[in-house]
Structure 1
Amino acid sequence: MLASKYRLKDSSDFDEVHKKGKLYSGELASLVVYKRGDTDPSRFGFVVSSKISSLATIRNNKKRILSETVRQLVTKIPTGYDCVFLGKRKIATSYANAIMKETRDLLVKSKLLK
């Protein structure tokens, strides 16, 4: 599980990232990145809406996969960013390996990971 200090919690934080962040799109998910301008650890949020699947178990599973991938990479990501991963429809039928690869690719695309 991703540690609490690395997670976005308040809806106001999610809103700020959506309004001021830069969007990077992939096949299974999108990533919105907002540079806060401080030296606190980067924080991450995960959104898989009910449009993706009406079953909460599927949505939660996909969010857990995204979160686990970020947890493994969080030490390599620079500080001062807020990021939100947005699941797309295809994520509901995708395997964990594909989701993990997509997550890494989006972080590289956004230049948060080398």
Structure 2
Amino acid sequence: MRKVVTLKKNYEFAKVFNKGLFYVGRHIVVYALPNRQSFNRIGISVSKKAGKAVTRNKKKRLIREGYRQLENYILKGYDIIIAARGEDTVSKYSELVKEFKYLLKKLRIFDQEKYNCLKEL
């Protein structure tokens, strides 16, 4: 299992929030900004409006797993932030992955051809 490179510093998040493109979904918001590197960096943001610590951590785990499932189909060289929308209920994993894939397509960083080729096998 590969280690995922994460955004950790506040200025890294601020740069992506301020200069990156974003699309809003029902459960998540995805921000993306090219980073001139050969790998992606990911940041996950869940505000306190999303609920108590247990709920926020569950949302983070679901988002992290959704990213891991689609990681091979995302174009390389982007800083990606996935922010959970402020609601107390935790969405289903399948809905979250479907929405994440849709938002990545809207940002034009999802490799649909690679996804279709491996799905047919």
Which residue does the alignment assign to 1:28? 27
Matches within 5 A, 1:47-58: 47-53=45-51, 55-58=52-55
- In the TM superposition, what whole-angstrom CA distance separates every residue of 1:17-74 from its partner, at most 9, and x where no partner exists? 01111111111111111112x2330111111100111x11110111111111111221
Which residue does the alignment assign to 1:46? 44
Matched residue count: 111
Matches within 5 A, 1:1-114: 3-5=3-5, 7-36=6-35, 38-53=36-51, 55-90=52-87, 92-113=89-110, 114=112
1:2 Cα deviation (Å)? 6.9
TM-score when scaled to structure 1? 0.86
- 1:2/1:70 contact within 8 Å kept: no
Task: Tell me the percent identity.
Answer: 31
Tell me how far apart the structure 2 counterparts of residues 39 and 12 of structure 1 sit (CA, whole Å): 18
Gaps of 5+ in 1: none
1:111 Cα deviation (Å)? 1.2
Give the match's secondary structure for 2:109: coil
Q: Let me know the Cα RMSD of the aligned residues.
A: 1.8
Gaps of 5+ in 2: 113-121
- 2:16/2:32 contact within 8 Å kept: yes
- 2:47/2:86 contact within 8 Å kept: no
Which residue does the alignment assign to 2:115? none
